[in-house]
A and B are shown apart, each in its own frame.
Chain A
Amino acid sequence: MGMIGQHLLNGMMQGTIYGLVAMGFTIFFGVMNVIKFSHGDVLTLGAFGGLVAVWATNSMGLSVPVQFIAAFAAAMLLSAVAGAGISHFLIMPLRNAPPLNMLLMTMMVGTVLREAIRLFFPNGTNPQRFPELLPSGGFNIGSSFFRTDALILIVAGIASIGVVYWIINRTKFGLAMRAVAEDVETARTMGIIFARVIPLTFALGSITAGFAGTIYGLYYSEINYGMGLLLAVIGFTAAIVGGLGNIWGAIIGGYLFAGLQTFVVAAMPSMSDYKNVFAFVLIIMLITWRPTGLLAERGSERV
């Protein structure tokens, strides 16, 4: 059992990725009451954008740190544009439609994005090798092996969660966002430009997805067109478990899900094939126990 530290680190890494995805879901829901199922595919789009940026900067002969920054910048920019575009052209016009229509529409947009990457990216059906931009290797503490790249990515991920939290709670834009989330009409009478705040909110949520996509690529050294699908399901589940609409809930949900997956493999290695089954079954039990999530959204009386 000397590997507990190691398992914790693995769980932290996955949890950070899940948490970042879940945070997007929770932001969209909190502000617009929208479940945006294309979120996972926006993540994929961002990761591919990051890959192209690395290829481009690499062929220009720029240094590795520049490639690293370019990857994140391109991924975040591309996913922000995609997220804002989806909200402006598709979600806003449909905002008074039944929620089911919205859900279906975002699922279809996700499929379009996913298939577009598969069909138009060169060799898009094949998994793409994501270049290793972080120092490889690591160090041992006791019998646990700490990967340097994993540590850097976890710190980056947690820092980005902090930044998003700061934007929402400490900036003027965050205030506008929260005002819209609370009551659209009142927010409008207070002079908040609704049509500007919403796309920006979606851009913010999508940036976290692009960021997570790049972290994913750097950690696993591989991305593929379908990676967003399972991540979206897990991210959405995490957001629900934590309490849809509550940022901390989403993050706790993300780590919880990763923890469950890791625990199954650590405790019963021969059952590792069933880790998603176990994790989802436990999540179903949790949701049955606390239907509004572990941390319910404040003011959930709107349900």
Chain B
Amino acid sequence: MVTITKRAFAALAAVSVLPLAFGSLDAALAKDKVKIAFVGPLTGALSPHGIGGRNSAELAVKQMNADPKTKYDYELVVLDDECKPNIGVQVVTKIASDRSIVAAIPHYCSATAIATVDIFNRFKLPMVVWAAVLPEITYANKYPEVHRVSGILIGQNRVGAEFMKARGYKKFVSFADSTDYGKSMNKYFTQFTTENGNEILGTFAVPPDQQDLSAELTKIKELNPEVVYFGGLTPLGARLRTQMAKFGINAQLEGNSGIMGDAFINAAGPELAEGTVTFFDSPPISKMPGGKAFTDAYKAAGYSEPPEAYGPFAYIATHLVMETIEKAGPDRAKITAELADVKDRPSIVGPITFDDHGQNITPLTTKYVVQDGKWLVWEDSEYAAGKRKLKNLP
């Protein structure tokens, strides 16, 4: 047993404080620490997406820190918004009022993001949204702090409506969650589907956490549509697919970016997920320049959870933020100014160009279908080749 006298303890304490006091003298040796924040759902039903995004953002930070040429040492502050607007407001207020945090990479869920954009603006905290796709996040206001690398849901719905028409489907039912996100999905689905001359037999909106869909599904069964369109996120989507099967509804399921990712197939099971079509704002990462490097690095970093559909977007958003800090320095106003000029920036999901609302305008909307428990690009699937058939084809 070592006994420490009072004096020895004081000396020890002084020694341990010393480096802090003279830290600035070491600047030539150690880089300045810069804090950036990642926000996403790390718990709750949508956590697979949040954790995939978190891992990808962390990977970007690790790679940046490993590079000896960079000016700063980055620290990623990770916060959980649980995909709930009220929690999102809490955590964003927390990071926004912490002056040591200079930029943020927030939100998977649109309903959360739309609730927090005002806070980013009020506290002048620059941010790059990594996944949420509701148009209003960037377009409802003209906030210089707000940017987004992911697409907006209008494009997905346009491509989706054209695709379904080309297959010959005519009768649809819309089933969306009742958040701003689901409402917006339903709005553009309805707009593009009716513009194409197709018919919507019924529209249903349920809260995202509703368990019992039997009343709605009974009604849907009665309407007997060829296609059930789903505008919502993975947990409700998987529930819809499972309960559709239990009610013997044999309609084709048309999804959106909200169910894109392995989590949907895991939750619904590969048999039930089979043949589900979805429209998502990026080609598969394996087909993109630098995509393989990302996948390899992600694996090498030893993450056990998949990056999910938006992992690459979290990666490029984080990377973009750090690149900007390297150029402009760790200052909120300077970063905001620098982010306004992002144009044709190469990334693993394609070039990034922000318009005057901070919206990336170069998403490449791609059609996907589940085949044998995997999301495949439509053109590469046996469905497109005619070997397998979508449900209810006229």
Q: How far is the CA of A143 from the CA of B239 in the complex (A)?
A: 23
Of B219, B222, B235, B242, which one neighbours A143 at CB under 8 angstroms?
B222
Which residues of B are found within 8 Å of A143, using beta-carbon distances?
A: 222
Q: How far is the CA of A127 from the CA of B246 in the complex (A)?
A: 19
Which residues of B are found within 8 Å of A206, using beta-carbon distances?
A: none
Closest Cβ–Cβ distance, residue B28 to chain A (whole Å): 46
Closest Cβ–Cβ distance, residue B271 to chain A (whole Å): 11
Of B47, B202, B215, B239, which one neighbours A266 at CB under 8 angstroms?
B215
Check A3 against B211 for contact (C-beta < 8 Å).
Answer: no
Most buried by B among A13, A137, A147, A273: A273
Q: Which of A131-168 contact B (CB under 8 A)?
A: 136-138, 140, 143, 145, 147, 149
- Supposing A3-B218, A265-B219 touch, asked if A273 and B246 sit within 8 A by C-beta, the answer is no
Chain A contributes a number of interface residues (CB within 8 A of B) equal to 36
Which residues of A are found within 8 Å of B215, using beta-carbon distances?
A: 7, 10, 261-262, 264-266, 272, 275
Check A147 against B239 for contact (C-beta < 8 Å).
Answer: no
Of B43, B214, B243, which one neighbours A125 at CB under 8 angstroms?
B43
Which residues of B are found within 8 Å of A224, using beta-carbon distances?
A: 45
Check B211 against A145 for contact (C-beta < 8 Å).
Answer: no
Check A14 against B212 for contact (C-beta < 8 Å).
Answer: yes
Which residues of B are found within 8 Å of A262, using beta-carbon distances?
A: 215
Q: Which of B228-273 contact A (CB under 8 A)?
A: 235, 239, 242-243, 245-248, 267
B206 on interface, CB distance cutoff 8 Å: yes
Which residues of A are found within 8 Å of B207, using beta-carbon distances?
A: 273
A52 on interface, CB distance cutoff 8 Å: no
Of A127, A147, A149, which one neighbours B235 at CB under 8 angstroms?
A127
A186 on interface, CB distance cutoff 8 Å: no
Chain B residue, CB-CB nearest to A216: B211
- Supposing A6-B221, A10-B214, A222-B211 touch, asked if A125 and B44 sit within 8 A by C-beta, the answer is yes
Check A222 against B239 for contact (C-beta < 8 Å).
Answer: yes
Which residues of A are found within 8 Å of B212, using beta-carbon distances?
A: 10, 14, 220
B121 on interface, CB distance cutoff 8 Å: no
- Supposing A222-B211, A227-B211 touch, asked if A10 and B204 sit within 8 A by C-beta, the answer is no
Check B242 against A2 for contact (C-beta < 8 Å).
Answer: no
Q: Which of A245-285 contact B (CB under 8 A)?
A: 261-262, 264-266, 269-270, 272-273, 275
A221 on interface, CB distance cutoff 8 Å: yes
Chain A residue, CB-CB nearest to B45: A127
Which residues of A are found within 8 Å of B45, using beta-carbon distances?
A: 126-127, 224
Check A129 against B267 for contact (C-beta < 8 Å).
Answer: yes
Q: Which of B138-189 contact A (CB under 8 A)?
A: 178
Chain A residue, CB-CB nearest to B173: A269
Q: How far is the CA of A138 from the CA of B245 in the complex (A)?
A: 11
Q: How far is the CA of A136 from the CA of B242 in the complex (A)?
A: 11
Which residues of B are found within 8 Å of A265, using beta-carbon distances?
A: 215-216, 218-219
B366 on interface, CB distance cutoff 8 Å: no
Q: How far is the CA of A273 from the CA of B213 in the complex (A)?
A: 11
Chain A residue, CB-CB nearest to B175: A272
Most buried by B among A3, A14, A143, A227: A3
Closest Cβ–Cβ distance, residue B110 to chain A (whole Å): 17
Check B47 against A3 for contact (C-beta < 8 Å).
Answer: no
Check B246 against A147 for contact (C-beta < 8 Å).
Answer: yes
- Supposing A220-B211, A269-B216 touch, asked if A3 and B204 sit within 8 A by C-beta, the answer is no
Most buried by A among B214, B248, B267: B214
Check B205 against A273 for contact (C-beta < 8 Å).
Answer: yes
Which residues of A are found within 8 Å of B247, using beta-carbon distances?
A: 145, 147
Q: How far is the CA of A53 from the CA of B159 in the complex (A)?
A: 46
Which residues of A are found within 8 Å of B248, using beta-carbon distances?
A: 137-138, 140, 145
Q: How far is the CA of A7 from the CA of B44 in the complex (A)?
A: 31
B203 on interface, CB distance cutoff 8 Å: yes
Which residues of A are found within 8 Å of B178, using beta-carbon distances?
A: 273
Which residues of B are found within 8 Å of A125, using beta-carbon distances?
A: 43-44, 47, 82
Check B246 against A3 for contact (C-beta < 8 Å).
Answer: no
- Supposing A222-B239, A261-B215 touch, asked if A269 and B202 sit within 8 A by C-beta, the answer is yes
Most buried by A among B203, B209, B222: B222
Q: Which of A208-242 contact B (CB under 8 A)?
A: 216, 220-222, 224, 226-227
Which residues of A are found within 8 Å of B47, using beta-carbon distances?
A: 125-126
Chain B residue, CB-CB nearest to A145: B248
Chain B residue, CB-CB nearest to A221: B242
Which residues of A are found within 8 Å of B242, using beta-carbon distances?
A: 221-222
Of A220, A222, A266, A270, which one neighbours B204 at CB under 8 angstroms?
A270
Q: How far is the CA of A269 from the CA of B212 in the complex (A)?
A: 14
Q: How far is the CA of A222 from the CA of B221 in the complex (A)?
A: 22
Closest Cβ–Cβ distance, residue A149 to chain B (whole Å): 8
Check B219 against A266 for contact (C-beta < 8 Å).
Answer: yes
Chain A residue, CB-CB nearest to B205: A273
Chain A residue, CB-CB nearest to B267: A129
Q: Which of B263-316 contact A (CB under 8 A)?
A: 267
Which residues of B are found within 8 Å of A137, using beta-carbon distances?
A: 248
Check B218 against A266 for contact (C-beta < 8 Å).
Answer: yes
Closest Cβ–Cβ distance, residue A6 to chain B (whole Å): 5
Question: What are 6 A-B interface contacts by the 8 Å CB criterion?
Answer: A2-B222, A127-B235, A145-B248, A261-B215, A269-B202, A272-B216
14 additional A-B residue pairs with CB within 8 Å, beyond A10-B214, A222-B211? A2-B222, A3-B221, A7-B215, A10-B218, A14-B214, A126-B44, A126-B45, A145-B221, A222-B239, A224-B45, A272-B206, A272-B216, A273-B205, A273-B206
Sorted nearest first, the 9 A-B pairs with minimum C-beta distance are: A265-B215, A125-B43, A10-B214, A273-B205, A273-B178, A6-B218, A3-B222, A269-B219, A262-B215
